[in-house]
Structure 1
Amino acid sequence: MFKQITKRHWTLIILTIIGIIAAYFILPVSVPLIVAYVTALFLNPSIRWFQYRFHISRQFAVSIVFLLFLMFLGLMGTFAVTRAVAQTIQLIDNAPYYISQLNQVLIDLQNNMNSFMEMLPKEFVDQTSSRIEESLRNSTDRLTETLNIENVAALATKIPNLIVSLLVYLIALFLFMLDLPRLKSKLHSYLTEETSEKVKFMNARLSYVVFGFLKAQFQVSIIIFIVTLVGLLFIAPEIAILMALITWLVDFIPIIGSIAIIGPWSIYMIAIGDLTTGTQLAVLAIVLLAIRRTVEPKFMGTQIGLSPLATLIAMYIGLKLIGFLGFFIGPLVVIAFNSAKEAGLIKLNVKI
């Protein structure tokens, strides 16, 4: 088997290993630049559209798209901050009511527990009570440690770094948008004509995959929106449309999805004593989670050219190895490997 590996193959293997080791140390500090480059790739079709539609230079088209992108970020940021402040004020205003409701629930729970414990042996009751008190004490200590002044101050010191990262991201994004054609031509100048054609094939394939991924996410979210709206029309018709829209927007977040809205809502309704609504919301959350877990791999596989099983395995392994980003990177790695194999960059003729 090793006789079939040429000197060129060994060179590629060594360079790949060196690249992986370098990436391990460089990638963590290069996140703003990487995100800026990926964003520039997403925005590049819009730049080309402005160029060909209005017959303007790339610099002018980049300026237009960049300003539109900044406006979009500004509007989204303003909306998020405004809603967060409004919800915080509303929470503070309603805090006395929530506390009274919670106290009533705790009183009822304590009365029920007392009635139940009267039928149990005293030793068991004492042991259980001591364990509950110890758990509550440990939870209080952990919460106190988390909310102490040192942690709050440490969090505050990260704000300047976040601002610097944001500025670096925006500047790098603008420069990447300007220089993408030059960077591509520079890359291809180091390649032979045959290899250059193979790399172009890979780029076209990956571009198709990225847009297919976004299309799949949108299709899944539409199904989630319809099911959520129908369910909430029966559970809470007065706010069904608003909550369905919020759930639809949050559902774009992979892994978390709609459960981030419906789940806490269900727990809250149960906590205040509305068991019927809480149970209905819990059932709706389970249904939405089941839909996402069953439908998402199928749509992903259809749009990005992988079988549902391969897509599910790639997403799961990527999630376990890398974390949240692995959900995206896992399928992309498989697609990149298949594309390189189809283009002839990777040749595997191993038989056992």
Structure 2
Amino acid sequence: MDILKKEKILEIIYWCIGIILFVFIIKNYFRPFILIVILFFLGNPINKFLREKIKYKEVCAGITILLINIVVVIGIIYIWSNFYSFISTVIGSNINQIKEIFIEIENGIEKIIGNINIIDSAKKILNFNYLKVGAINTGEGLLSYFIGNICTFFILADKDEIKEVVKKIMPDKVEKRVNRIIYNSRNIIKIQILLVLISTIIIIIGFKILRVENCVTLGIVCGILDILPYVGTIIVFIPIIIYNIIVKNYLIAFGLVCLYLLIQIIREILEAKLVSDKFNMHPLLSLLSLYIGVKVFGFIGIFIGPIFCMTLVDIISEN
């Protein structure tokens, strides 16, 4: 084995260990990282534009963060109000049918496992410990969001200085590799945004054809959730399918099942194709990198899997 091959193998091992440790630290000790990346990706173009008009970099960064948060809050309020109105209308107009379904389910469960009181069981589940865990998770989520915003503010304000410090610390070869990883990461984020937009448009059109109420709001919610592996859009689809079964709209329920399957197939094919075309990877390799990344790393594996694979391909293909 020649020296070049040995160097490549060692570099692959180093980067594999480095990426795995990086993901482990993010998942367990620095959860705001993903939020920081998203906020920076969204805010950087706005910040660049403002810097051409305003000379104070801190002011530009502050306005950028404020604008993003205003849009997020307005979006959440709009989506939640419409979604809540839809759920209230559905339950209010079909309360009797829903009660009958729950009674049938309870009777069916009793036949299988004996007498059971669903309300008492629910009270046992929703005990203090569950509420305590929920409160802790909510508190941690709010703290992570606050820290993510503060960190993004400083990165936007001092990104040039941060780049200079990193250049001085990092060896040239490592810096080159990191810049390549950052470039690949940006393209992966762009691909995911494009896939979310495509899924959202298809879902809204599908809901419109199937005459689902509040099709735009529900389509946007599905589009946002589409980025989550496995659960994603099914969180919205299952209640709507069940509702249509309750009101005996079996054709619409079947159509929703077909729409869900269509979305999943289109997304998988497009994701593999876009990643393979953008990074000169075989579609099978890109599909496997996505699947294994999600299996190993969870949600963050959507990005880490392809980046991990692309880094290895870059190292191997170098002369």
Work out whether the TM-score is over 0.5: yes
Residue pairs, 1:259-298, within 5 angstroms: 259-298=234-273
Partner of 1:146: 125
Q: Distance in 2 between matches of 1:70 and 1:246?
A: 18
Matched, 1:336 2:311: yes
Mean Cα displacement is larger for which, 322-331 or 213-222? Answer: 213-222
1:185 corresponds to which letter in structure 2? Answer: E
Tell me, which stretches of 5 or more residues in structure 2 are unaligned? none
Matched, 1:166 2:145: yes
Q: Distance in 2 between matches of 1:210 and 1:15?
A: 15
Residue pairs, 1:231-242, within 5 angstroms: 231-236=206-211, 240-241=215-216
Q: Is the 8 A contact 1:105 1:273 kept in 2?
A: no
Partner of 1:47: 47
Larger radius of gyration: 1
Q: Distance in 1 between matches of 2:262 and 2:256?
A: 10
Structure 1 79/39 Cα, relative in aligned 2: closer, same or farther at 3 Å? same
Matched, 1:251 2:226: yes
Mean Cα displacement is larger for which, 261-270 or 241-250? Answer: 241-250
Q: Is the 8 A contact 1:209 1:305 kept in 2?
A: no
Q: CA RMSD in A?
A: 4.2
Structure of greater relative contact order (alpha carbons < 8 Å, 6+ residues apart): 2
Q: Is the 8 A contact 2:39 2:149 kept in 1?
A: no
Partner of 1:119: none
Q: Distance in 2 between matches of 1:10 and 1:222?
A: 40
Deviation (angstroms), 1:265: 1.0
Q: Which one of 94, 102, 106 corresponds to residue 98 of structure 2?
A: 102
Give the aligned length. 319
Residue pairs, 1:173-188, within 5 angstroms: 173-188=152-167
Q: Distance in 1 between matches of 2:243 and 2:268?
A: 25
Matched, 1:32 2:32: yes
Q: Is the 8 A contact 1:220 1:292 kept in 2?
A: yes
% identity of equivalent residues: 20
Partner of 2:175: 199
Q: Is the 8 A contact 2:40 2:152 kept in 1?
A: yes
Tell me, which stretches of 5 or more residues in structure 1 are unaligned? 114-127, 348-352
Q: 1:98-135 deviations in whole A, cap 9, x for unaligned?
A: 3411344578999xx9xxxxxxxxxxxxxx9876235x
Partner of 2:283: 308
Deviation (angstroms), 1:318: 1.0
Structure 1 145/298 Cα, relative in aligned 2: closer, same or farther at 3 Å? farther
Q: Is the 8 A contact 1:208 1:304 kept in 2?
A: no
1:290 corresponds to which letter in structure 2? Answer: I
Q: Distance in 2 between matches of 1:107 and 1:162?
A: 37
Q: Distance in 2 between matches of 1:286 and 1:156?
A: 35
Q: Distance in 1 between matches of 2:45 and 2:304?
A: 22
- TM-score, normalising length from structure 1? 0.70
Structure 1 187/322 Cα, relative in aligned 2: closer, same or farther at 3 Å? same
Q: Secondary structure at 1:236's aligned position in 2? A: coil
Q: 1:223-273 deviations in whole A, cap 9, x for unaligned?
A: 434543444444217655554455444435454444433333112211332
Q: Is the 8 A contact 2:82 2:214 kept in 1?
A: no
- TM-score, normalising length from structure 2? 0.76
Q: Distance in 2 between matches of 1:202 and 1:15?
A: 10
Deviation (angstroms), 1:191: 4.0
